Amino acid sequence: MISGIHHVAISTPDLPRALAFYRDLLGFREVSRTTWGSDQPKIDQVMALEGTAATTVMLQLGAICVELFQFEAPPQPEAAATGERKVHKHGITHLCFDVDDAEAEYQRLRAAGVRFHVPPQDFGVVRATYGRDPDGNVFELQQIL
């Protein structure tokens, strides 16, 4: 059962500029920062991309979180051949839904015809996967462990 929305993620070409807006101007508080290189196959699988490298910053304001992504790789595409927006393209990348059991929710939604990039992956502190809504927009199922 989905219990709420955790965060909205936004890909940006300029992380300092985005932080100046969301953190410094709007008053979001930085709660975490993560950087990874192109050697993270589980992250690549969840995102349905190859060789990702990025820095993310999670910001919080009250019960609302915004996650900012600055991808170093892969390069920005000119246009998606499939018509679906890739998750590293600049703009809002996905909505994240908190769930009690990522595997059970994945199975329930998959049985209803929802497409996913990969089954839920275990990242130690969270189990997560990305799926697509009927219009191709990306959402995440996240089970905090």
Domains in the chain, number: 1
Please determine, for residue 10, whether its predicted confidence score (pLDDT) is greater than 80: yes
pLDDT in tens, 48-57: 999 989 999 9
Strands (E), 12-112: 29-36, 53-61, 64-73, 91-99
- Percent with pLDDT over 70 in the chain: 95
Please determine, for residue 79, whether its predicted confidence score (pLDDT) is greater than 60: no
Q: Are 130 and 140 in contact (CB under 8 A)?
A: yes
Domain residues for the domain of 45 are 2-144
CATH number of the domain enclosing 50: 3.10.180.10
Instruction: Please tell me whether residue 79 adopts helix, strand or coil conformation.
Output: coil
Report pTM: 0.72
Largest CA distance in the chain: 43
pLDDT in tens, 89-125: 887 888 888 999 999 999 988 999 889 999 999 999 9
